[in-house]
Chain A
Amino acid sequence: MQPGRYLRNALAINPDEQERLAQCRALVVGCGGLGGFVLEYLGRLGVGDLRAVDPDTFSEGNLNRQLLSSSLNLGRPKALAAVQRMQAVNPLAHIEGVQAFLTEENAAQLLEGCQVALDCLDNIPARRTLQKACALAWVPLVHGALGGWLGQACVILPGENLLDMIYPDAGAEHGEEYEQGALAFTAGMVAAVQAAEAVKLLLGKPGLRGELLVLDLLNGSFERLRLA
């Protein structure tokens, strides 16, 4: 018997799939614009175990888009806000908050027991560290990024190293987001794609493979660009 909270999932996700999701663990790296929405979607959907990683605390500049931020928790850790939010939204989902950077040293431990990882980070070197760790741990990674009205997402299977195609300049740390800013609806859209791709990976359904989904919310266009 499924909990009533998943009633409206049931026509799209069958009881066996819902039960499988309850047994899954997802690592969400970054609890800012992308990570806040990703955690919300995965937790509400019924992914049973979430590990949320972020070293930062909230500042006023986060309030325009970061779901977990509010005028009441400025200065407080993002990872803690993720835990408090999920405990209120879905107590059936276990969530662990980790207030730390993901590094080469702690990545294997953070990925332990996870069937999928989500790249909700805000800089290129950290994204590369996560990709490398996921390849070593043989965990699929769902990448997401945004800059202004533009967003992108892709699925990176272990060993594919698609970030090297997306970020070919080995020295780059940031991209267009420093010129274009970050908007709430772009974060929400990219996070929605990431959550959907993560759930499809967990349920063994076909999804984005070897392609980058590019969203341009100013022009209203979605394109799939070949990466591999």
Chain B
Amino acid sequence: MISVNTHEQPWREGLNVQALLDEMGFIFRHIIVRVNGEYVPEEAYAARLIADGDDVQVMHLIAGG
């Protein structure tokens, strides 16, 4: 299992950030991802593997007032 924000989520071998975002329906263009507190830039989503037990944080980037 991994944690995504405040939720537990199943983990599988080879899971990467892009696949996780796709599976969880994060479809907005502006997203901030951290794995175990480390910021993952968008260009690294497909290459960044997620390990069992990782703590993933996904935030939408919003700045309207």
B61 lies within 8 A of A167 (CB): yes
A81 to B23, CA, bound (A): 46
Q: How far is the CA of A77 from the CA of B39 in the complex (A)?
A: 40
User: On chain A, which size bracket covers the interface?
Assistant: 35 or more
A224 to B6, CA, bound (A): 8
Partner of A168 from B6, B29, B39, B63 at Cβ < 8 Å: B39
Contact of A225 among B39, B57, B62 (CB under 8 A): B57
Looking across the interface, which residue of chain A has its beta carbon closest to that of B28? A176
Residues in B neighbouring A224, C-beta threshold 8 A = 6
Residues from chain B with a CB closer than 8 A to the CB of A172 are 30, 61, 63
Within 8 A of A (CB), among B34-65: 39, 57, 59-65
Which residues of chain A have C-beta atoms less than 8 A from B5's C-beta? 223, 225
Instruction: Report whether A176 and B65 are in contact in the complex, using a CB–CB cutoff of 8 Å.
Output: no
Question: Are A176 and B59 neighbours in the complex by a CB distance under 8 Å?
Answer: no
How many Å lie between the Cα of A33 and that of B65 in the bound state? 6
Instruction: Decide if A46 is an interface residue (CB 8 Å cutoff).
Output: no
Chain B, interface SS category: loop
Contact present for B62 and A146 (CB under 8 Å): yes
Contacting B at CB under 8 A, from A169-199, are: 169, 172-177, 179-180, 182, 187
Docked Cα-Cα span, A99 to B20, in Å, equals 46
Q: Which of A82-140 contact B (CB under 8 A)?
A: 120-124, 127
- Of B6, B28, B32, B59, which one neighbours A179 at CB under 8 angstroms? B28
Which residue of A122, A166, A212 is within 8 Å of B64 (Cβ)? A122
Inter-chain CA distance A121–B59, complex, in Å, is 19
Tell me which of B32, B59, B61, B65 contacts A30 (CB under 8 A).
Answer: B65
Contact A122 B63 (CB under 8 A): yes
CA distance A56 to B62 in the complex (A): 21
Q: How many Å lie between the Cα of A34 and that of B64 in the bound state? A: 9
- Do the beta carbons of B6 and A223 come within 8 Å of each other? yes
A-B contact pairs, 16 of them (CB 8 A): A34-B65, A120-B65, A122-B64, A145-B62, A145-B63, A146-B65, A150-B60, A167-B63, A168-B32, A175-B30, A176-B61, A176-B62, A214-B59, A223-B5, A223-B6, A226-B57
Query: Chain B: residues with CB nearer than 8 A to chain A?
Result: 5-6, 28-30, 32, 39, 57, 59-65
